[in-house]
């Protein structure tokens, strides 16, 4: 033995003590002597002894009393009783009470030494066992993961605190339960397969996920790995598992996939938008030509003409196509917006009557508008379009009647909110909430509603463009629109538009509708598309105007230089190769300060919108336009200052 073995000799006979001490020292032990029971206990407190040689007869207390104290306080310490023949019975009793052994006096020294050595070995084993048990305990209790041991029948044998608190059970309650009681039915087969296919054949399982049912009935998602326990003969005796609570991770994953879903949806709408926008833009130009010439021919034709009706139908179909194209343009955010700072409450109030008429008498309209104005920079007619689309949808969702509520408010969208919604920039927003008490929709439908042509309505009832258009309009206003709905529980649409920092616009002075659409002013027409140019020229000439025509900005400037008479109006396309319509108008205004400018455009590229061409007080007419609309607009612009 390399470690010192401390032996306490307890005997009231000094001679014997001395002799034993000497012999033990010689044999490499570390002996300490005590003459009384009290002394012995004092020594035991001072240091840990492996072995105590204890005389049963002591002066101050009985050896049995000392033994029981030692058993109680120092259970690893081994006691060897020294006894004479007369007290052999008590010695045997003492062994029954936990003494290691007894040796008869007078002692056979070799036998005594052997007994001491064996006792010391036992002490050492007990000690190391206790130490490893203690460190196992510490490990067990300090584990942040849960730990559980079951037998092959699934009875719970052992677990740590994490396991019981994770499941919300007291230890006594867990003892009455089996592993299957903790496992929801739908997971039992999977886990049984895990045991049969992995744990028993390989000794352990891969890391797998499952759920437990907590005491309160709630579900706990966990991740675990299970190991097999075997008897010494190799028979499986049970299993143990390390279990990790993954509810937070699951929550994060759910959040992430929700965000991803939203992002994918936004990207999908974006790309459909680009496609639709591209097609719609070309259609727009074609339709302008079709409708323009159609209208011109109709004007020249007698109503009795055999082809008149056919022509009218062609134009009617063209108008319908134009409406669809407009909606697609709105969806793809290619509309030219007429931005003004407006109070959203005024927009809603101003539109109340029309909404009432659309939704009918069975539906109650509630407006909840705060007293303070809520300014946003917006194109009023476009916002009205959105409100109308939402109101019509709400009406369709409430065939038996119900309530449509439009509520406006000021909201702060903080970082936390923005983190949950892709594309949202934190800040102050105006919220418009449009809710109905209608049929609602399921999650899958709600995921598709902003896509163009998605409709659940009968063929002639809906085209599926209402919400797509609204989405595009709101996005073009740098806002967001969300739908929240559940089947049978109604639907709420929330729109967020950035709060305008500018003060409310005074609004354009309303120009009276001109009655006479003819004029004799001179108009400079700049348009790069040949057919559009020709058509526009014809329309203007018919109204009596003198029309100067240019194909691009440079030509227009040259033409102006050479033209001697006055020019009253410049009618120019916005997007043209070379010089843009905006640049051209700036250059012309330098030369002729009081010239009027009217822009025409099929769409606004972002560049134009961002450069602020379309702001307060800018005149424009969206392409395609009916001849009549152009005539009216031109007249209005020319007469504006005359008021
Ligand atoms: N308030 C609502 N309640 C229940 N479902 C709705 C609501 N609003 C929209 N939806 C669903 O979303 C779909 C798409 O709406 P959207 O306005 O884009 O097209 P639509 O109303 O079907 O046709 P369109 O508006 O072009 O006439 C609807 O067909 C309907 O299924
Ligand atoms: Mg609709």
> 633 and 621 in contact (C-beta within 8 Å)?
yes
For ligand 1, whether the C-beta of 468 sits within 6 Å is yes
Among 85-89, 372-376, 531-535, the minimum mean pLDDT is found in 85-89
Is it the case that residue 273 has pLDDT exceeding 60? yes
Report the SS3 class of residue 108.
Answer: coil
Helix count and strand count (H, E) for the chain: 22, 22
C-alpha 522: how far from chain center = 60
Per-chain mean pLDDT for the chain: 87
Ligand 1 probe mutation, 398, 464, 490, most atoms within 8 A of CB: 464
In a domain, 591, yes or no: yes
Percent of the chain with pLDDT over 90: 52
Question: 400-419 b/e with 16+ CB inside 10 Å = b?
Answer: eebebbbbbeeeebeeeeee
- Measure 257 CA to ligand 1 centroid, in angstroms: 25
For ligand 1, whether the C-beta of 462 sits within 6 Å is yes
Overall residue count recorded for the chain in this entry = 643
User: Do residues 534 and 621 share a domain?
Assistant: yes
- CA within 13 Å, CB half, 166: 26
pLDDT score of 274:
79
**Closest ligand to Cα 455:** 1
What confidence tens digit (pLDDT) does each residue in 332-370 have?
776 667 788 999 999 999 889 889 988 999 999 999 999
Ligand 1 probe mutation, 327, 405, 466, most atoms within 8 A of CB: 466
- Measure 456 CA to ligand 1 centroid, in angstroms: 7
| φ and ψ at residue 568, rounded to 5 degrees | -95, -35
What confidence tens digit (pLDDT) does each residue in 145-202 have?
898 999 999 999 999 889 999 999 999 999 999 999 999 999 999 999 999 999 999 9
Confidence of residue 607 (pLDDT cuts 50, 70, 90): very low
Please name the residue whose Cα sits nearest to atom 31 of ligand 1. Answer: 456
Please name the residue whose Cα sits nearest to atom 7 of ligand 1. Answer: 393
Instruction: Pull the structure tokens for residue 237.
Output: 């005796």
In a domain, 510, yes or no: no
507 CB-near residues (< 8 Å, 6+ apart): 340
**Closest ligand to Cα 456:** 1
Is it the case that residue 56 has pLDDT exceeding 80? yes
In a domain, 513, yes or no: no
For ligand 1, whether the C-beta of 434 sits within 6 Å is no
d(CA 551, CA 534): 11
User: Do residues 344 and 479 share a domain?
Assistant: yes
For ligand 1, whether the C-beta of 404 sits within 6 Å is no
Assign residue 267 the CATH number of its domain: 1.10.287
What confidence tens digit (pLDDT) does each residue in 496-555 have?
999 998 777 655 444 456 778 889 999 999 999 888 899 999 999 999 999 999 999 999
For ligand 1, whether the C-beta of 491 sits within 6 Å is yes
Ligand 1 probe mutation, 462, 473, 495, most atoms within 8 A of CB: 462
Please name the residue whose Cα sits nearest to atom 28 of ligand 1. Answer: 455
For ligand 1, whether the C-beta of 467 sits within 6 Å is yes
**Residue 178 DSSP label:** B
- Measure 205 CA to ligand 1 centroid, in angstroms: 50
Rg (CA), the chain: 47
For ligand 1, whether the C-beta of 451 sits within 6 Å is no
User: Do residues 327 and 345 share a domain?
Assistant: no
Assign residue 447 the CATH number of its domain: 3.30.565.10
CA dihedral of residues 539, 542, 546, 552 (deg, nearest 10): 20
pLDDT score of 359:
92
pLDDT score of 432:
97
**Closest ligand to Cα 462:** 1
Domain stop point among 297, 331, 365: 331
In a domain, 505, yes or no: no
In a domain, 506, yes or no: no
For ligand 1, whether the C-beta of 401 sits within 6 Å is no
User: Do residues 126 and 165 share a domain?
Assistant: no
User: Residue 465 CA: which ligand 1 atom is closest?
Assistant: 26
For ligand 1, whether the C-beta of 552 sits within 6 Å is no
**Closest ligand to Cα 469:** 1
For ligand 1, whether the C-beta of 402 sits within 6 Å is no
Assign residue 193 the CATH number of its domain: 3.30.450.20
**Closest ligand to Cα 470:** 1
pLDDT score of 512:
59
d(CA 42, CA 65): 14
> 175 and 148 in contact (C-beta within 8 Å)?
no
Cα–Cα nearest to 287, from 629, 463, 531? 531
Q: Which residue has tokens 């379009």?
A: 385
User: Do residues 353 and 488 share a domain?
Assistant: yes
d(CA 351, CA 69): 95
Which segment, 98-112, 407-421, 480-494, 497-511, is predicted with the most confidence on average?
480-494
Assign residue 60 the CATH number of its domain: 3.40.50.2300
Domain stop point among 203, 221, 245: 245
**Residue 605 DSSP label:** -
Is it the case that residue 609 has pLDDT exceeding 70? no
Please name the residue whose Cα sits nearest to atom 17 of ligand 1. Answer: 466
- Measure 389 CA to ligand 2 centroid, in angstroms: 5
- Measure 319 CA to ligand 2 centroid, in angstroms: 19
**Residue 515 DSSP label:** S
User: Do residues 479 and 541 share a domain?
Assistant: no
User: Do residues 109 and 225 share a domain?
Assistant: no
**Closest ligand to Cα 450:** 1
Please name the residue whose Cα sits nearest to atom 11 of ligand 1. Answer: 449
User: Residue 461 CA: which ligand 1 atom is closest?
Assistant: 27
User: Do residues 594 and 626 share a domain?
Assistant: yes
User: Cα(first)–Cα(last) distance of the chain, in Å?
Assistant: 119
In a domain, 570, yes or no: yes
User: Do residues 327 and 354 share a domain?
Assistant: no
Please name the residue whose Cα sits nearest to atom 19 of ligand 1. Answer: 464
> 353 and 620 in contact (C-beta within 8 Å)?
no
**Structural domain total, the chain:** 5
What confidence tens digit (pLDDT) does each residue in 214-259 have?
999 999 999 999 999 998 888 999 999 999 999 999 998 888 888 8
User: Do residues 325 and 303 share a domain?
Assistant: yes
For ligand 1, whether the C-beta of 464 sits within 6 Å is yes
Task: For residue 614, count CB atoms less than 10 angstroms from its CB and return exposed for 0-12, middle for 13-18, buried for 19 or more.
Answer: buried
User: Do residues 181 and 293 share a domain?
Assistant: no
d(CA 316, CA 307): 14
User: Do residues 492 and 346 share a domain?
Assistant: yes
Supply the range of the domain harboring residue 549: 522-642
C-alpha 417: how far from chain center = 10
pLDDT score of 418:
85
In a domain, 603, yes or no: yes
In a domain, 516, yes or no: no
- Measure 110 CA to ligand 2 centroid, in angstroms: 106
Domain stop point among 311, 331, 351: 331
* The pairing of beta strand 236-245 with beta strand 146-151: antiparallel
Confidence of residue 617 (pLDDT cuts 50, 70, 90): low
- Measure 534 CA to ligand 1 centroid, in angstroms: 41
**Closest ligand to Cα 457:** 1
Instruction: Pull the structure tokens for residue 561.
Output: 């230089």
């Amino acid at each position: 033995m390399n470690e010192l073995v401390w032996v306490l000799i307890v005997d009231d006979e000094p001679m014997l003590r001395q002799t034993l001490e000497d012999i033990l020292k010689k044999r490499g032990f570390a002996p300490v002597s005590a003459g009384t029971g009290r002394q012995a206990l004092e020594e035991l407190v001072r240091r840990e002894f492996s072995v105590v040689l204890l005389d049963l007869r002591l002066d101050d207390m009985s050896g049995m009393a000392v033994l029981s104290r030692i058993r109680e306080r120092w259970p690893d310490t081994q006691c060897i009783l020294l006894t004479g023949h007369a007290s052999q019975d008590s010695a045997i009793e003492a062994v029954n009470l936990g003494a290691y052994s007894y040796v008869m006096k007078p002692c056979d020294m070799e036998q005594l030494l052997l007994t001491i050595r064996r006792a010391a070995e036992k002490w050492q084993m007990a000690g190391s066992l206790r130490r490893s048990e203690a460190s196992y305990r510490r490990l067990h209790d300090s584990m942040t993961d849960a730990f559980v041991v079951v037998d092959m029948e699934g009875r719970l044998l052992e677990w740590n605190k994490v396991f019981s608190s994770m499941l919300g059970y007291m230890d006594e309650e867990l003892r009455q339960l089996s592993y299957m009681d903790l496992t929801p039915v739908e997971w039992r087969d999977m886990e049984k397969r895990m045991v049969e296919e992995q744990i028993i054949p390989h000794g352990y399982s891969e890391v797998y996920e499952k759920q437990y049912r907590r005491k309160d009935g709630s579900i706990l998602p966990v991740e675990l790995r299970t190991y097999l326990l075997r008897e010494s003969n190799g028979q499986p005796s049970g299993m143990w598992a390390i279990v990790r609570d993954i509810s937070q991770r699951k929550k994060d994953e759910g959040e992430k996939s929700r965000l991803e879903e939203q992002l994918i949806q936004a990207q999908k709408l974006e790309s459909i938008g680009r496609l639709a926008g591209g097609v719609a833009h070309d259609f727009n130009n074609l339709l302008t030509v079709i409708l323009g010439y159609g209208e011109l021919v109709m004007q020249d034709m007698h109503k009795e003409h055999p082809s008149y009706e056919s022509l009218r139908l062609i134009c009617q179909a063209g108008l319908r196509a134009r409406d669809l194209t407009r909606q697609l343009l709105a969806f793809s955010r290619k509309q030219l917006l007429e931005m003004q700072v407006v109070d959203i409450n005024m927009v809603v109030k101003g539109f109340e009557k029309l909404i009432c008429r659309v939704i009918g008498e069975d539906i109650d309209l509630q407006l909840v508008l705060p007293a303070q104005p809520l300014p946003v920079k917006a194109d009023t007619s476009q916002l009205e379009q959105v409100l109308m689309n939402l109101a019509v949808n709400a009406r369709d969702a409430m065939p038996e009647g119900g309530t449509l509520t439009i509520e406006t408010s000021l909201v702060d969208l903080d970082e936390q909110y923005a983190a949950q919604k892709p594309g949202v920039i934190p800040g102050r927003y105006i919220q418009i909430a449009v809710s109905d008490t209608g049929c609602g929709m399921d999650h899958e439908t709600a995921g598709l509603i902003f896509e163009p042509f998605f409709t659940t309505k009968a063929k002639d009832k809906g085209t599926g463009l209402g919400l797509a258009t609204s989405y595009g309009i709101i996005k073009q206003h740098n806002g967001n629109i969300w739908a929240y709905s559940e089947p049978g529980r109604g639907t709420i649409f929330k729109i967020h538009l950035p709060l305008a920092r500018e003060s409310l616009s005074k609004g354009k002075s309303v120009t009276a509708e001109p009655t006479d659409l003819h004029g004799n002013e001179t108009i400079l027409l700049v348009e790069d598309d040949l057919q559009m140019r020709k058509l526009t020229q014809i329309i203007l000439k018919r109204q009596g105007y003198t029309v100067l025509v240019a194909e691009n900005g440079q030509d227009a400037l040259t033409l102006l230089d050479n033209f001697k008479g006055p020019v009253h109006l410049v009618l120019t396309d916005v997007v043209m190769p070379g010089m843009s319509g905006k640049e051209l108008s700036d250059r012309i205004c330098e030369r002729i300060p009081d010239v009027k400018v009217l822009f025409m455009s099929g769409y606004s590229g972002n560049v134009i919108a961002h450069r602020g061409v379309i702001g307060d007080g800018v005149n424009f007419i969206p392409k395609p336009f009916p001849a009549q609309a152009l005539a009216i607009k031109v007249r209005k612009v020319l007469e504006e200052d005359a008021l």
